[in-house]
Amino acid sequence: MPSMLQALPAAHPLVTGATSDSPLITAYRGGKPTRRPVWFMRQAGRSLPEYREARQGISMLDSCLKPELAAEITLQPVRRHDVDAGIFFSDIVIPLKLAGVGVDIVPGVGPVLENPVRTAADVAALPKLTWEALEPIRQAVRLTVEELGSTPLIGFAGAPFTLAAYMVEGRPSRDHLGPRTMMHADPETWKALADWAADASGLFLQAQLEAGASAAQLFDSWAGSLGLADYERYVAPASARALDAVRGLGAPLIHFGTGTSELLPAMHRVGVDVMGVDYRLPLDEANRRLGGAVPLQGNIDPALLPAPWEVLEAHVREVIAAGASAPGHVVNLGHGVPPETDPAVLTRVVELIHSIGY
């Protein structure tokens, strides 16, 4: 396997045509498909009883590394909600785990590292992720794509800043002070860490695309804690480096973060096709900030999912009207599905979106 994938394999669903004209890919490419595409971040997961059942007695990271189980969990929300894409069931810390970094996902907490990475020596000691170690990921993607047929699978990875935020703090944090201090106090160590994370995420994306994912989303969930100057100087180059691994393959690339209204153009400039927008910024304003040239994804406010149906419906219609200004629109939430969400509401939202013509 070359270190840089040059082209998708001949059997890839974007190459055979299985997914290339799907509503999702058409909208990501700036077109208006026959049916309005929608999927939900965190559509697989605790909101689904079948997920809770499948996960009984098995840890989060172990379930990601069992190909049949990861494929099954990925397919559950597609079957149930008739969404226009699967999002690969995995986690942004899986590349760390497969590289040999001590990391676990602690229920009720999130990713926790055995040894936080804080010094130049810590960074130098990080093991390198290999292509071989990613075999369970490629297997899970192959199984999933086979079942999905003409429905595209979206692969993903954590962006270097969001990954480094967990690595430096050692656990979830609110303000991400550790990595923000490091980039100024010790820029060389920061760059080495961000580049390590970029290479791990880049290889993770490459594995998913090579095995059959039709698009890929880079999650910089916590980039919103950065000012624009820090983002551009210390983070954007590493995010661009992660994407270098999969650029030019013809699979649409999406970039998403929360609290990133002020960063949208800078995040687009790292070289992606589509911008995900969180719930804070109306899509017509996001479109204006991006010069009217970028397909958008978003941005139903997850807080409205438990609201009375009339309130939620009006909001969904507003999101669709605002998204119509962009050259392409894939409907999604403005962040992940909250675990306590009633899945029947999500199914109804999908039906509503599919019923609205252009």
Calculate the alpha carbon distances from 139 to 26, 70, 129, 227, 325 in Å. 27, 10, 17, 39, 39
CA distances from 133 to 136, 207, 339 (A): 8, 10, 31
Exactly one of 30, 136, 170, 172 binds ligand 1CP (CB under 6 A); that residue is 172
How far is the C-alpha of 199 from the C-alpha of 244, rounded, in Å? 9
Helix (H, G, I), strand (E, B) or coil at 106: strand
For residue 171, indicate whether it is catalytic: no
List the one residue from 27, 48, 60, 71 that touches ligand 1CP (CB under 6 A). 60
91 is catalytic: yes
Given 46, 233, 280, 348, the catalytic residue: 46
Q: Is 36 annotated as a binding residue?
A: no
Q: Is 317 a catalytic residue?
A: no
Q: Work out whether 354 is an interface residue with ligand 1CP (CB under 6 A).
A: no
- Name which of 60 and 145 has its Cβ closer to ligand 1CP: 60
- CB of residue 255 vs ligand 1CP: minimum separation in angstroms? 12
Instruction: Select 20 or 261, whichever has its Cβ closest to ligand 1CP.
Output: 261
Stretch 310-349 residues interacting with ligand 1CP (CB under 6 A): 336
From residue 90 to residue 129, the character string flagging contacts with ligand 1CP as x (rule: CB under 6 A) and all else as - is xxx------------x-x--xx------------------
Q: Shortest approach of ligand 1CP to residue 48 CB, angstroms? A: 10
- 3-class secondary structure per residue, 227-294: CHHHHHHHHHHHHHHHHHCCCCCCCCEEEECCCCHHHHHHHHHCCCCEEECCCCCCHHHHHHHCCCCC
Considering only CA atoms, which of 140, 15, 28 is closest in space to residue 84?
A: 28
Residue 45 touching ligand 1CP (CB under 6 A): yes
* Residue 172 three-state SS: coil
Two structure tokens written together for 209: 């695309």
Q: Which residues pair with 210 in a beta bridge?
A: none
Question: Helices 177-185 and 187-210, interaxial angle, to 10°?
Answer: 120
List residues bridging with 241 in a β-sheet: none
247 is catalytic: no
Q: Which of 166, 231, 234, 279 is catalytic?
A: 166
Residue 13 binds to ligand 1CP (criterion: CB under 6 A): no
| Contact flag: residue 66 with ligand 1CP (CB under 6 A) | no
For residues 183 and 195, what is the distance between their CA atoms, to the nearest angstrom? 13
Closer to ligand 1CP by Cβ: residue 108 or 327: 108
Joined together, the tokens standing for residue 343 give 């899945």
Please tell me whether 45 is known to bind a ligand: yes
Residues 6+ apart with CB under 8 A from 17: none
Residues within window 191-250 making contact with ligand 1CP, judged by CB under 6 A: 219, 221
Annotated binding site: 42-46, 91, 166, 221, 335
Given the rule CB under 6 A, which residues bind ligand 1CP? 41-46, 55, 60, 87, 89-92, 105, 107, 110-111, 156, 162, 172, 219, 221, 336
| Residues catalogued as catalytic | 42, 46, 55, 91, 166
